[in-house]
Amino acid sequence: MNRLKNKAAIITGAASGIGKQQALLFAKEGAKVALGDLNEEKVQEVVKEIKDNGGDAIGFKMDITNNVDIDNLIAHTLSAFGKISILCNTAGMYDQFRNLLDTDEAFWNKILEINITGLYKVNQRVLPHMIENKYGVIVNIASGAAVIGGGGGIAYTSSKHAVVGFTKQLNAEWGLNGIRANAIVPGLINTPMVKGVIMDDPNSPIMDTLKKIPAGRYGEPKEVADLSLFLASDDSKYIYGAIVPIDGGMFSTLR
């Protein structure tokens, strides 16, 4: 299984949840992986797990809103692996369903800074290296809140809708330069973030939605990683600008 042989990938938010599973799977499939996350201890545990299984990985503490942290990760990736073939933008922050009147400007700015401005910063810095090699695959993790209302609060929903537009525009601007970008739209996935703010709250408005999901269950991070692998590999080389749901049928049911 070497679907990513000779590829080098950067994955943000790689210490847990979807990002961790992307890191483990990409390394298993032959990619050299550079991992960034705010939780340095956890990201180093992922690096160790990959190396213990014969993979090649480096990891760093990274705040995706911090230009120095981003530049540091990119520099180390290029030094260690010589190129950046794949970028998975997986880091993000939820907003606990805060509505418009409960969302002050500082909180609004924080959510957008992490979920879309941080994504912009990472993409903008990685893109020139991909263009130089005339090859690059970008996988942005959006959310069900990117395609429906009610999947989060006003800030989170706005930020994830922006991820979809950002992804489409990347293809319009750079597709002819060998770059392709797609976005994944996860439904209810059993990650620490979702578990903490949704699954463990019996009063969450999402709990009623769970009962209506055709698949009858939450998704697992490994399932999102499997989809990420497909989009990152040459198996999907004719897919540009796709917004791909992985939701157990939830979004089609809600529409």
pLDDT the model gives residue 151: 84
pLDDT the model gives residue 201: 63
User: Between vectors from CA 190 to CA 184 and to CA 196, what angle results, nearest 5°?
Assistant: 115
User: Under 8 Å CB-to-CB from 157, ≥6 apart: which residues?
Assistant: 145, 146, 149, 151
Is a pLDDT exceeding 80 seen at residue 127?
Answer: yes
Is a pLDDT exceeding 90 seen at residue 26?
Answer: yes
Kindly state the average pLDDT of the residues 150-168. Answer: 95
User: Between vectors from CA 196 to CA 191 and to CA 42, what angle results, nearest 5°?
Assistant: 55
Q: Does the predicted TM-score (pTM) go above 0.85?
A: yes
Domain boundaries, the chain: 8-254
Is a pLDDT exceeding 90 seen at residue 213?
Answer: no
Rounded CA gap, 65 and 159, in Å? 14
Confidence of residue 204 (pLDDT cuts 50, 70, 90): low
Closest CA to 6 of 89, 122, 84: 84
Residues classed as catalytic: 156
Q: Beta strands of 38-115 (E only): which ranges?
A: 56-61, 86-89
| Partner residues linked to 180 by β-bridges | 137
Confidence of residue 200 (pLDDT cuts 50, 70, 90): low
Kindly report, residue by residue over 146-156, the tens digit of the pLDDT. 888 888 899 99
The CATH number of 8-254 is 3.40.50.720
pLDDT the model gives residue 195: 65
